[in-house]
Amino acid sequence: MHLRTIRIHSDLSPNSFGMITPELLRGVPLFAEVPERKLEVIASRAADIRLRPNDWLIREGELPSFFIVLSGGIDVVKILGDDDRVINHFGVGEYAGEVPLLLFCPAIASLRATETSRVARFEAADFHELIASSPRLNTMLMRTMAERIGRVQDFYSSVAPTAAATVIGHRYDVSCHQLRDFLTRNHVTFRWHDLRDREAREALGTMFEPEGPFPVVILPGGTRLVAPSFREVAQALGLQTMPSEGVVYDVAIIGAGPAGLASAVYGASEGLRTILIERHAPGGQASTSSRIENYLGQALRRRDPGRAQCRGDQDPLRGTSLRGAPRRWRRVQDASHRHRFRRLLASARRGWR
């Protein structure tokens, strides 16, 4: 008979089982004057979150929660163009998340652990119940919210985003408007100059011809595109417009609205080699509405491949207008490339061209 030795741990405190206790919260300045009985109720509502260095607690745009740092440290990270900027840091006893919860909006910034950390998390309903039952906490949180909103405004006013392109054309020209809309919906920062502006004449130099073809797109390296197509602009800016060479995809999805994005996320998460084909910009009509805060696949629309690709391959192709009859699903050709796939899902809002 083989006997196995079992080691019994002498530390059987609530903290060893991942529980938030009133004693832990008592050290938080926000709860310094909260009565013991109420603090016990607050502690019972908190979730105990453990983070390793560089773990994300929440990402910008997600549903918010209220967080209190119990140990370690948390960086506040804001998306600026294609870069992540650290704009603040929270240490032990500090809290985050009250701004989006009080404004009833998605998280306005991401939170990332800088070291091994422990965080108490409160869901939205528990947070609102907390401030409704305590005028003092309500006052403190409102004051903090005002300070943090001012800090974010100062940050944006001091950091001018780098323009990926300069667009010059006639203000009321349809093609100029369509190109600007294409860049905006694909989250490409650009400068716009009307032909009547002095900056437009200086940028064009000897090419300045009021009756010439427009729009003109000037890239940072000096490259100029005259009356370009969406595909030409997308290729020049580094947006993906071509599928992987020689690949036969398991699923091809036409139309990157909410339905197409959701299908791409689920297909890729199941290990299918998935291609997502979109003529204008991911998100469809939903991406133009300020009343739709979140939908499945929104991370892909925001050009965040790490969160959107899952286990498979999703290739969003922009500037693509498909040509082909519905009976030729297995090989559809666009303006310059032939896409091969085993199954096709059409979620396009408009008809075929």
Amino acid code (one letter) for 236:
A
Q: What is the pLDDT of residues 87-101, one digit of tens each?
A: 899 999 999 999 999
Q: What is the pLDDT of residues 200-235, one digit of tens each?
A: 888 888 777 777 888 999 998 888 999 999 889 988
Residue pair 287/281 in contact by the 8 Å Cβ criterion: yes
Written as six digits, the tokens of 88 are 């603040």
pLDDT per residue of the chain (353 residues) written in tens, 0 to 9: 333 333 333 343 444 446 899 999 988 999 988 899 999 999 999 999 999 999 999 999 899 999 999 999 999 998 776 678 898 999 999 999 999 998 888 898 999 999 999 999 999 999 999 888 888 888 899 889 888 888 877 777 776 667 789 999 988 899 999 999 989 888 788 999 998 888 888 888 877 777 788 899 999 888 899 999 988 998 888 887 777 777 788 888 888 888 888 888 888 878 888 888 887 777 777 766 666 666 665 554 544 433 333 333 445 555 554 444 344 444 445 545 565 666 666 666 554 44
Angle CA 177–180–183, to nearest 5: 150
What CATH number was assigned to the domain covering residues 14-158? 2.60.120.10
User: What is the predicted pLDDT for the residue at 235?
Assistant: 87
Task: Select the CATH number that applies to the domain covering 165-237 from these four: 3.40.30.10, 1.10.3720.10, 3.40.50.2300, 3.10.180.10.
Answer: 3.40.30.10
* DSSP, res 177: H
Task: Report the alpha-carbon distance of residue 94 to residue 43 in Å, rounded.
Answer: 16
Residue pair 259/347 in contact by the 8 Å Cβ criterion: yes
Query: Domain locations in the chain?
Result: 14-158, 165-237, 249-346
Residue 235: φ, ψ to 5°: -65, -40
**Domain 249-346 fold:** FAD/NAD(P)-binding domain (3.50.50)
Alpha-carbon torsion angle 178, 181, 182, 188, nearest 10: 140
